[in-house]
Amino acid sequence: MNFYALLEQAIISDDILVKELLAAQCLEYCSKNEVMSDDHFLPRRFEVPSYVSKCTIVSPKNLPHRKDFDTEEGLATLVHSIAHIEFSAIDLALDAVYRYPDMPQIYKIDWLEVACDEIRHFKMLQSLLGQLGFTYGDFPVHSGLFDAANNTAHNILDRMAIVPRYFEASGLDVSPQIIKKLDNRRKLPSIAKLIEVLNIIFKEEVDHVLKGDKWFKYLCKREGKSEEVYFEILEVYDLLDKHRPHVNVKARKEAGFTCYEIKRLGAKECS
Protein backbone atom coordinates (compact mmCIF):
# COMPACT_ATOMS: atom_id res chain seq x y z
CA MET A 1 0.00 0.00 0.00
CA ASN A 2 1.23 3.51 -0.83
CA PHE A 3 0.56 5.04 2.57
CA TYR A 4 1.42 8.63 1.65
CA ALA A 5 -0.52 8.51 -1.64
CA LEU A 6 -3.63 7.46 0.30
CA LEU A 7 -3.06 10.22 2.83
CA GLU A 8 -2.76 12.76 0.05
CA GLN A 9 -6.01 11.55 -1.52
CA ALA A 10 -7.74 11.85 1.86
CA ILE A 11 -6.47 15.41 2.35
CA ILE A 12 -7.51 16.73 -1.07
CA SER A 13 -10.90 14.98 -1.24
CA ASP A 14 -13.98 17.12 -0.54
CA ASP A 15 -16.07 13.99 0.16
CA ILE A 16 -16.36 13.14 3.85
CA LEU A 17 -17.04 9.47 3.09
CA VAL A 18 -13.84 9.24 1.03
CA LYS A 19 -11.89 10.91 3.83
CA GLU A 20 -13.44 8.51 6.33
CA LEU A 21 -12.60 5.40 4.28
CA LEU A 22 -9.01 6.44 3.52
CA ALA A 23 -8.25 7.68 7.04
CA ALA A 24 -9.53 4.37 8.47
CA GLN A 25 -7.38 2.41 5.99
CA CYS A 26 -4.30 4.44 6.90
CA LEU A 27 -4.92 4.00 10.62
CA GLU A 28 -5.44 0.25 10.28
CA TYR A 29 -2.29 -0.11 8.20
CA CYS A 30 -0.26 2.08 10.53
CA SER A 31 -1.46 0.13 13.57
CA LYS A 32 -0.16 -3.14 12.10
CA ASN A 33 2.84 -2.09 10.01
CA GLU A 34 5.88 0.08 10.48
CA VAL A 35 5.61 3.00 8.04
CA MET A 36 9.10 3.45 6.69
CA SER A 37 10.45 6.83 5.65
CA ASP A 38 10.88 7.15 1.88
CA ASP A 39 13.83 9.29 0.81
CA HIS A 40 12.07 10.01 -2.50
CA PHE A 41 8.84 11.22 -0.90
CA LEU A 42 8.27 14.97 -1.04
CA PRO A 43 5.01 16.21 0.49
CA ARG A 44 2.92 18.50 -1.68
CA ARG A 45 2.15 22.06 -0.77
CA PHE A 46 -1.62 22.37 -1.12
CA GLU A 47 -2.59 25.63 -2.81
CA VAL A 48 -6.28 25.49 -1.87
CA PRO A 49 -8.20 23.72 0.92
CA SER A 50 -10.18 20.59 0.13
CA TYR A 51 -13.48 22.37 0.84
CA VAL A 52 -12.94 25.01 -1.86
CA SER A 53 -15.38 23.16 -4.15
CA LYS A 54 -18.11 23.23 -1.49
CA CYS A 55 -17.71 26.53 0.34
CA THR A 56 -17.43 30.21 -0.50
CA ILE A 57 -14.24 31.37 1.21
CA VAL A 58 -14.15 34.93 2.52
CA SER A 59 -12.01 37.00 4.86
CA PRO A 60 -12.95 36.52 8.53
CA LYS A 61 -14.04 40.17 8.70
CA ASN A 62 -16.51 39.53 5.85
CA LEU A 63 -18.25 36.61 7.53
CA PRO A 64 -21.91 37.43 8.19
CA HIS A 65 -22.86 37.95 11.82
CA ARG A 66 -24.56 34.93 13.32
CA LYS A 67 -28.28 35.40 13.52
CA ASP A 68 -30.47 34.71 16.52
CA PHE A 69 -30.27 31.03 17.47
CA ASP A 70 -34.08 31.03 17.91
CA THR A 71 -34.50 30.55 14.15
CA GLU A 72 -33.48 27.42 12.25
CA GLU A 73 -31.28 29.48 9.93
CA GLY A 74 -29.67 31.26 12.86
CA LEU A 75 -28.91 27.97 14.60
CA ALA A 76 -27.68 26.51 11.31
CA THR A 77 -25.09 29.30 10.96
CA LEU A 78 -23.64 28.26 14.33
CA VAL A 79 -23.70 24.54 13.49
CA HIS A 80 -22.13 25.29 10.10
CA SER A 81 -19.29 27.33 11.60
CA ILE A 82 -18.42 24.51 14.03
CA ALA A 83 -18.76 21.88 11.27
CA HIS A 84 -16.31 23.91 9.19
CA ILE A 85 -13.78 23.90 12.02
CA GLU A 86 -14.12 20.11 12.25
CA PHE A 87 -13.80 19.62 8.49
CA SER A 88 -10.67 21.78 8.50
CA ALA A 89 -9.31 19.87 11.50
CA ILE A 90 -9.61 16.57 9.59
CA ASP A 91 -7.21 17.83 6.94
CA LEU A 92 -4.83 19.29 9.52
CA ALA A 93 -4.62 16.00 11.42
CA LEU A 94 -4.00 14.06 8.20
CA ASP A 95 -1.45 16.65 7.08
CA ALA A 96 0.40 16.29 10.40
CA VAL A 97 1.10 12.69 9.39
CA TYR A 98 1.64 13.33 5.68
CA ARG A 99 4.01 16.29 5.97
CA TYR A 100 6.41 14.99 8.62
CA PRO A 101 7.23 11.39 7.66
CA ASP A 102 10.32 11.15 9.91
CA MET A 103 8.26 11.31 13.11
CA PRO A 104 7.82 8.14 15.22
CA GLN A 105 5.16 5.54 14.46
CA ILE A 106 3.10 6.44 17.54
CA TYR A 107 2.98 10.06 16.32
CA LYS A 108 1.41 8.86 13.07
CA ILE A 109 -1.11 6.74 14.96
CA ASP A 110 -1.98 9.63 17.30
CA TRP A 111 -2.85 12.02 14.47
CA LEU A 112 -4.69 9.42 12.41
CA GLU A 113 -6.82 8.73 15.50
CA VAL A 114 -7.44 12.48 15.79
CA ALA A 115 -8.46 12.62 12.11
CA CYS A 116 -10.96 9.80 12.64
CA ASP A 117 -12.40 11.64 15.67
CA GLU A 118 -12.74 14.86 13.65
CA ILE A 119 -14.50 12.96 10.85
CA ARG A 120 -17.01 11.59 13.36
CA HIS A 121 -17.53 15.08 14.82
CA PHE A 122 -18.14 16.55 11.37
CA LYS A 123 -20.65 13.83 10.47
CA MET A 124 -22.64 14.48 13.67
CA LEU A 125 -22.78 18.20 12.86
CA GLN A 126 -23.55 17.50 9.20
CA SER A 127 -26.52 15.38 10.28
CA LEU A 128 -27.82 18.14 12.56
CA LEU A 129 -27.34 20.68 9.79
CA GLY A 130 -29.43 18.47 7.51
CA GLN A 131 -32.20 18.26 10.11
CA LEU A 132 -32.27 22.07 10.10
CA GLY A 133 -32.67 22.08 6.31
CA PHE A 134 -29.13 23.06 5.37
CA THR A 135 -25.92 21.46 4.15
CA TYR A 136 -22.20 22.10 4.51
CA GLY A 137 -21.33 24.91 2.10
CA ASP A 138 -24.58 26.86 2.49
CA PHE A 139 -22.79 29.62 4.42
CA PRO A 140 -19.46 31.36 3.71
CA VAL A 141 -16.36 30.28 5.62
CA HIS A 142 -12.82 31.48 6.21
CA SER A 143 -9.63 29.50 5.62
CA GLY A 144 -7.83 30.35 8.87
CA LEU A 145 -6.86 26.80 9.82
CA PHE A 146 -5.74 25.95 6.29
CA ASP A 147 -3.61 29.10 6.28
CA ALA A 148 -2.13 28.14 9.66
CA ALA A 149 -1.19 24.74 8.25
CA ASN A 150 0.49 26.30 5.22
CA ASN A 151 2.30 28.88 7.33
CA THR A 152 3.77 26.18 9.59
CA ALA A 153 4.44 23.57 6.88
CA HIS A 154 8.18 24.23 7.04
CA ASN A 155 8.52 23.60 10.79
CA ILE A 156 6.88 20.81 12.77
CA LEU A 157 7.59 22.47 16.12
CA ASP A 158 5.71 25.55 14.93
CA ARG A 159 2.89 23.30 13.68
CA MET A 160 2.45 21.60 17.05
CA ALA A 161 2.57 24.95 18.86
CA ILE A 162 0.16 26.77 16.55
CA VAL A 163 -2.43 24.16 15.54
CA PRO A 164 -3.17 21.90 18.55
CA ARG A 165 -1.62 24.08 21.26
CA TYR A 166 -3.06 27.38 20.08
CA PHE A 167 -6.07 26.98 17.80
CA GLU A 168 -7.48 23.73 19.19
CA ALA A 169 -6.71 24.83 22.74
CA SER A 170 -8.65 28.05 22.09
CA GLY A 171 -11.64 25.82 21.35
CA LEU A 172 -11.41 24.52 24.93
CA ASP A 173 -11.99 28.11 26.09
CA VAL A 174 -14.84 28.84 23.67
CA SER A 175 -16.93 25.63 23.64
CA PRO A 176 -18.20 25.84 27.25
CA GLN A 177 -19.25 29.45 26.61
CA ILE A 178 -21.31 28.40 23.58
CA ILE A 179 -22.91 25.56 25.55
CA LYS A 180 -23.72 27.97 28.37
CA LYS A 181 -25.34 30.38 25.90
CA LEU A 182 -27.50 27.59 24.47
CA ASP A 183 -28.43 25.99 27.78
CA ASN A 184 -31.60 27.98 28.51
CA ARG A 185 -33.06 26.74 25.19
CA ARG A 186 -32.22 23.07 25.58
CA LYS A 187 -35.95 22.16 25.57
CA LEU A 188 -35.81 22.57 21.80
CA PRO A 189 -34.76 19.18 20.32
CA SER A 190 -32.26 20.71 17.87
CA ILE A 191 -30.60 22.75 20.64
CA ALA A 192 -30.49 19.71 22.94
CA LYS A 193 -28.84 17.68 20.17
CA LEU A 194 -26.29 20.41 19.48
CA ILE A 195 -25.39 20.63 23.18
CA GLU A 196 -24.95 16.84 23.26
CA VAL A 197 -22.64 16.96 20.22
CA LEU A 198 -20.65 19.90 21.59
CA ASN A 199 -20.07 18.06 24.87
CA ILE A 200 -18.74 15.02 22.99
CA ILE A 201 -16.46 17.21 20.88
CA PHE A 202 -15.21 19.17 23.89
CA LYS A 203 -14.26 16.02 25.81
CA GLU A 204 -12.37 14.57 22.86
CA GLU A 205 -10.69 17.85 21.95
CA VAL A 206 -9.01 17.86 25.36
CA ASP A 207 -7.29 14.64 24.29
CA HIS A 208 -6.36 16.14 20.91
CA VAL A 209 -4.70 19.13 22.56
CA LEU A 210 -2.94 16.77 24.98
CA LYS A 211 -1.52 14.85 22.01
CA GLY A 212 -0.32 18.14 20.54
CA ASP A 213 1.22 19.01 23.90
CA LYS A 214 3.00 15.65 24.05
CA TRP A 215 4.57 16.07 20.62
CA PHE A 216 5.40 19.74 21.18
CA LYS A 217 7.35 18.76 24.30
CA TYR A 218 8.95 15.81 22.49
CA LEU A 219 10.18 18.16 19.76
CA CYS A 220 11.44 20.74 22.27
CA LYS A 221 13.50 18.00 23.90
CA ARG A 222 14.71 16.65 20.56
CA GLU A 223 15.76 20.11 19.39
CA GLY A 224 17.25 21.11 22.74
CA LYS A 225 14.82 23.98 23.23
CA SER A 226 13.04 25.23 26.32
CA GLU A 227 9.26 24.83 26.32
CA GLU A 228 9.25 28.61 26.77
CA VAL A 229 9.73 28.71 22.99
CA TYR A 230 5.94 28.32 22.78
CA PHE A 231 5.48 32.01 23.54
CA GLU A 232 8.24 32.98 21.11
CA ILE A 233 6.41 31.06 18.38
CA LEU A 234 3.09 32.71 19.24
CA GLU A 235 4.80 36.08 19.00
CA VAL A 236 6.30 35.28 15.58
CA TYR A 237 2.81 34.40 14.29
CA ASP A 238 1.28 37.50 15.93
CA LEU A 239 -0.91 35.40 18.25
CA LEU A 240 0.57 36.15 21.67
CA ASP A 241 -1.49 39.22 22.49
CA LYS A 242 -4.85 38.04 21.16
CA HIS A 243 -7.62 38.83 23.64
CA ARG A 244 -8.95 35.79 25.50
CA PRO A 245 -12.04 36.72 27.54
CA HIS A 246 -12.28 33.22 29.01
CA VAL A 247 -9.37 30.87 29.69
CA ASN A 248 -10.53 27.38 30.64
CA VAL A 249 -8.00 26.62 33.36
CA LYS A 250 -9.27 23.12 34.17
CA ALA A 251 -9.41 21.91 30.55
CA ARG A 252 -6.05 23.42 29.65
CA LYS A 253 -4.40 21.76 32.66
CA GLU A 254 -5.91 18.42 31.58
CA ALA A 255 -4.48 19.08 28.12
CA GLY A 256 -0.94 19.55 29.44
CA PHE A 257 -0.62 23.30 29.96
CA THR A 258 1.22 24.49 33.06
CA CYS A 259 -0.18 27.15 35.39
CA TYR A 260 2.64 29.43 34.28
CA GLU A 261 1.47 29.12 30.66
CA ILE A 262 -2.20 29.44 31.56
CA LYS A 263 -1.63 32.65 33.53
CA ARG A 264 0.52 34.07 30.78
CA LEU A 265 -2.37 33.39 28.37
CA GLY A 266 -4.64 35.55 30.52
CA ALA A 267 -6.08 33.52 33.39
CA LYS A 268 -6.15 35.41 36.68
CA GLU A 269 -5.78 32.30 38.81
CA CYS A 270 -4.46 28.77 38.36
CA SER A 271 -3.57 26.25 41.01
Helices within the chain (DSSP H only): 3-12, 16-32, 72-98, 105-131, 144-151, 156-162, 169-182, 189-223, 229-236, 249-254, 259-264
Residue-wise DSSP of 90-118: HHHHHHHHHS-TTS-HHHHHHHHHHHHHH
CATH 1.20.1260, domain 3-32+62-264, yes or no:
yes
Residue-range domain boundaries for the chain: 3-32+62-264
pLDDT number for residue 38: 67
For residue 143, the number of C-alpha atoms closer than 13 Å in the C-beta half-sphere is: 18
pLDDT number for residue 66: 67
- CB crowding 15-49: b at 16 or more within 10 Å, else e: ebeebbbbbebbbeebeeeebeeeeeeeeeebeeb
- Examine the pLDDT at 83 and tell me if it is beyond 80: yes
3-class DSSP state of 57: strand
Residue 196 binned pLDDT confidence (cut-offs 50, 70, 90): very high
pLDDT number for residue 239: 93
The proportion of the chain whose per-residue pLDDT surpasses 90, expressed as a percent, equals 84
CB of 195 within 8 A of CB of 186?
yes
User: Which amino acid is located at 133 in the chain?
Assistant: G
114, 214, 170, 232 alpha-carbon torsion, rounded to 10°: -140
pLDDT tens sequence across 157-192: 999 999 999 999 999 999 999 999 999 888 989 999
Q: How far apart are CA 52 and CA 207, in angstroms?
A: 29
CB of 14 within 8 A of CB of 51?
yes
pLDDT number for residue 121: 98
The proportion of the chain whose per-residue pLDDT surpasses 70, expressed as a percent, equals 98
- CB crowding 177-196: b at 16 or more within 10 Å, else e: ebbeebeeeeeeebbebbbe
pLDDT number for residue 99: 96
Is the torsion defined by CA of 28, 108, 9, 38 positive or negative?
A: negative
- Examine the pLDDT at 91 and tell me if it is beyond 70: yes
pLDDT tens sequence across 116-135: 999 999 999 999 999 999 99
pLDDT tens sequence across 12-54: 999 999 999 999 999 999 999 888 766 678 899 999 999 999 9
User: Which amino acid is located at 262 in the chain?
Assistant: I
Q: How far apart are CA 115 and CA 102, in angstroms?
A: 19
Which DSSP symbol is given to 187?
A: T
pLDDT number for residue 241: 83
Residue 245 binned pLDDT confidence (cut-offs 50, 70, 90): confident
Mean pLDDT calculated for residue range 200-223:
98
Which DSSP symbol is given to 268?
A: S
Average pLDDT in the chain: 94
pLDDT number for residue 69: 74
pLDDT number for residue 17: 98
- Examine the pLDDT at 64 and tell me if it is beyond 80: no
How far is the CA of 32 from the CAs of 7, 44, 100, 215, in angstroms?
Answer: 17, 26, 20, 22
pLDDT number for residue 113: 98
- Examine the pLDDT at 103 and tell me if it is beyond 70: yes
Mean pLDDT calculated for residue range 69-77:
86
